[in-house]
Structure 1
Amino acid sequence: MKKFGFATVAASALTAAFLGMAAPASAAPSGPGNAQDTISDLQAQGYTVIVNRIGNAPLESASVVAVRPGQSYSRTDHSRPGDDLSTTLLNKTVYVDVK
């Protein structure tokens, strides 16, 4: 029973550490560009992008106000009994505010 408790604590710690290392805010492209370029770049990096728009300008002429981290989903488990725990990132989300 102690092994199961330790494995649960270890899995929780690994997940927290893994999610803490994610830095989606720094994943935002820097320099000039339009909102569509930023969104495309983030999607190419594997992010699910949720766009919050202010106004109704096309994304090609809108600018990015902020890129904020969203929820990341991961799974920590053994691939086979007796293997070490491994964490797999399933999904990572960012919010892009455009104006």
Structure 2
Amino acid sequence: MKRLAATVATIAATTGLALATAAGAAAAPSGAGPADQTLNKLRADGYNVIISRTGTGAIDQCTVTEVRPGQTYSRTDSGVPGHLLGTPGPNIATTVTNKTALVTLAC
């Protein structure tokens, strides 16, 4: 029974991480638009932004051609009060500690 509870806990934690990553990717703006606005929005949403660009123009003259989700780092802790997975079962909480967006610009 303990093995079953541990397996269920692992599956639930992995599913939660996958959903958190998908939600973060969906929150990132996409499509063509002013570069400075998009970069500021991503940074305000907590993303570390990595920029790849073609051309030598200033940022305010660039347009966003692509936004892709980058690496997301998270940590899973057990024994967290208030995060009951099941009865009986471990208390598990997954926290996103860092997320990255890859932005391509045309200048």
- TM-score range (shorter-chain normalised) is 0.7 to 0.9
Per-residue deviation at 1:7?
Answer: 3.0
Alignment partner, residue 28 of structure 1: 29
Q: Where does 1:47-66 land on structure 2 (aligned, <5 Å)?
A: 47-66=47-66
TM-score (norm 2): 0.71
- Structure 1 residues 80 and 64, CA, compared in 2 at 3 Å: closer, same or farther? closer
Are residues 1:89 and 2:89 paired?
A: no
Q: Percent identity?
A: 41
Aligned position for 1:78: 78
The TM-score normalised by the length of structure 1 is 0.76
C-alpha contact 1:70 1:94 (8 A) present in aligned 2 = yes
Q: Distance in 1 between matches of 2:92 and 2:12?
A: 11
Runs of 4+ in 1 over 6 A off after TM superposition: none
Deviation at 1:12, TM superposition (A): 5.3
Give the whole-Å Cα distance in 1 for the aligned partners of 2:8 and 2:65: 39
Gaps of 5+ in 1: none
